[in-house]
Amino acid sequence: MIFGLLIVAGIVWMPLGIQPSADSLDTVFAKLRAAWSDAGRFTGERVDQYTIDAGGTPIDVEARIRGNDYVVSAEPEGMHLLAGRAKGKRWRENSSGTVHVVRADVQGDDFDRWPVAALGFKEGDCTLAGTALLPHPAWVLADQPPNDIPRWLYVDMETGDIVREVSREGVRVETYDFSDERGASGRRRAYRWQVRGPGGTETVTLSDWAPAPVAASEVAIPAQGPPVFDPPAAPQRVRASFTPYRGIIVPLRFEGETHSFQLDSGTPELIAADSLLTDGPVVLGHATATTIEVDGMTARDAAYLPVALFEDGLLGYDFFRGRIVHIDYAKGRLEVLPRDTFSPPIDALPLATDWSEGIPIVAAAVGDATGSRFALDLGSPRLLLTRAFLERSGAAAGITALGEHSKVVHFLEGPIEYVEAHSGTLQLGQQRFEGATVEVETGNPDNLAVPLDGIIGTDELATSEWWFDADGPLTWFRPNR
């Protein structure tokens, strides 16, 4: 039978306690604008000064805002952290100078915990989700800009103040409760909020704000810093184990101790198990390793995220930068090549690839259905198709069901419920792969919200030899003979 009945359109996650409302969006914004000057539009240029208290040393944060764009910066414990929004794209930069757009990255970090209520939002991006009681009656606006996660804004019906904001990135649910609203009618702001979620509880205080000139260059997406790992001077073999379930495992020296990290093109950060933490500080979910060494290639003062993992860690985007990563599945060979002298083999097939989000995203076709956002993920075993892709594609994807019972796959960012199905063909560039077993996302609102068409894992990747270039527009692959 053609697969389709198990995909339920329109199922989305929402915060609990929201009830339908007969009011109009205009009514809500009229009340909201009477209280908060930034509601539904962006003020010109200003600079905000904040203090974060996460139960330790207070951290000073500055936000520079220019219309729809902003940059939030902090320098805690010698780190240099930046996050922002530029021309509608959210981005962040870690203390190693690695920059990526925040969209497919649903892992998040504690520095992401910044509410749009403090930065401005567009009325055109909002719909009225309903009402809630907190304990006073409040309207709930669903704010979802293009290519971004939704936010729920709770507007007190009596005062017009935004009293709560809820966001969900991946399965990370953050709740912001605002207080200490000040200012005259139409010019009020919240001077304090408490944020609760997976990163613990933080209290943020607005200490000062003022109109000030902010140049466009100050809020633009920064250029990449130098590669984190030493670039290779010549082709270099990297010790690695090719395993059927854990992917490619690389031994490395992390702070002087040998550990096994998984090579993971689907991770836009370096991630280490929190059990490997040394005496260095962890600030806003970030830490710094003095040295990480992979077969003589060393990353010094390398930024990473400490996370609860079964693995020792994940070698993500930072390992791919500054070199060509060559993977020969047939021979069990991993090596890195100098990028400036690399020429792809004459019979290798080029594949247009976008690494701006810290992972390789390509176009692909499943059956007769095409999508522009498939991730090449060395850390995933199977081909997974998202519910959004199948809702859009319908029967064109040519998916036939193999079973009726759903299963759950657990990613680092959260779970996805799926059923096993069969795909007629997968087309990557000029290469067509014949039928494969796929994981098809089912309609569960608690699923990890992945802004992708699908994930292409090692079942398909292992049928070819690969050359990844995280600093260029192409990936090359050669099907195994």
* Identical fold between 238-320 and 349-479: yes
Question: How confident is the model at residue 284, as a pLDDT?
Answer: 85
Q: What single-letter DSSP state applies at residue 422?
A: E
For 29, phi then psi, to 5°, come to -70, -30
CATH number for the segment(s) 349-479? 2.40.70.10
Contacts of 380 (CB under 8 A, 6+ apart): 266, 411, 455, 456, 457, 458
- The one-letter code for the residue type at 6 is L
Architecture of the domain delimited by 25-219: Clam (2.50)
Q: Are 283 and 59 in contact (CB under 8 A)?
A: yes
Share of the chain above pLDDT 70, in %: 95
Please state, in angstroms and rounded to a whole number, the distance separating the CA atoms of residues 347 and 80: 43
pLDDT digit string, tens, across residues 312-359: 999 999 999 999 999 999 999 999 999 999 999 999 999 999 999 999
pLDDT mean over 139-167: 92
**Residue with more model confidence, 345 or 410:** 345
**Contact predicate 108/171, CB 8 Å:** no
Residue with tokens 């709560």: 164
Give the DSSP H or E segment for 129.
Answer: strand 126-133
Answer whether residue 11 shows pLDDT above 70: no
Half-sphere exposure of 441 (CA within 13 A, CB side): 26
DSSP 3-state assignment of 32? helix
The answer to whether residue 120 scores a pLDDT higher than 80 is yes
If one counts every other C-beta atom within 10 angstroms of the C-beta of residue 153, the result is 26
In whole angstroms, give the CA distance from residue 460 to residue 449: 23
Angstrom distance (rounded) from CA 408 to CA 435: 22
Report the chain's mean pLDDT, rounded to a whole number: 89
Q: 456 falls in which pLDDT band (50, 70, 90)?
A: very high
Q: What is the pLDDT of residue 39?
A: 61
Angstrom distance (rounded) from CA 55 to CA 309? 24
CA-to-CA distance for 288 and 444, rounded, in angstroms? 37
HSE-up of 364 (CA within 13 Å, CB side)? 30
Tell me which amino acid residue 46 is. Answer: R
Tokens of 140: 């709930």
Contacts of 56 (CB under 8 A, 6+ apart): none
Residues with Cβ within 8 Å of 342's Cβ and at least 6 positions away in sequence, in order, are 324, 467, 469
C-beta of residue 70 within 8 angstroms of C-beta of residue 85: yes
The CATH class, in words, for 238-320 is mainly beta
Is the bond leading into 227 cis (omega within 30 degrees of zero)?
A: no
pLDDT at 182: 86
Place 187 in a pLDDT band, splitting at 50, 70 and 90.
confident
Q: Enumerate the domain spans of the chain.
A: 25-219, 238-320, 349-479
- How much is the pLDDT for 186? 65
H-helix segments, 382-480 = 387-393, 458-461
The answer to whether the CB of 306 falls within 8 A of the CB of 255 is no
Distance separating the N- and C-terminal Cα atoms of the chain: 33
Q: In this predicted structure, which of 354-363, 406-415, 471-480 has the lowest mean pLDDT?
A: 406-415
158, 172 in Cβ contact below 8 A?
no
13, 446 Cβ separation under 8 angstroms: yes
Using the CB atoms, write b or e for 69-88: b if 16+ within 10 Å. Answer: bbbbbbebbebebbbbbbee
- The pLDDT tens digits of the residues spanning 188-212 come to 889 999 999 888 899 999 999 888 9
Instruction: Give all strands (DSSP E) within 134-211, no chain letters.
Output: 137-143, 151-156, 162-169, 172-182, 189-197, 200-211
Amino acid identity at 149? I
Q: Answer with the residue of higher pLDDT: 449 or 305.
A: 305
- Evaluate the CA torsion angle 442, 448, 452, 458 in order and state its sign: negative
The average pLDDT across 36-61 equals 81
Average the pLDDT over 48-53 and give the result: 94
Query: What's the rounded Cα separation, in Å, for the pair 455 and 413?
Result: 14
Alpha-carbon separation of residue 401 from 2, 8, 369, 397, 452 (angstroms): 7, 15, 17, 12, 21
Q: At residue 384, what is the residue type?
A: L
Q: Please state the pTM of the whole predicted model.
A: 0.92
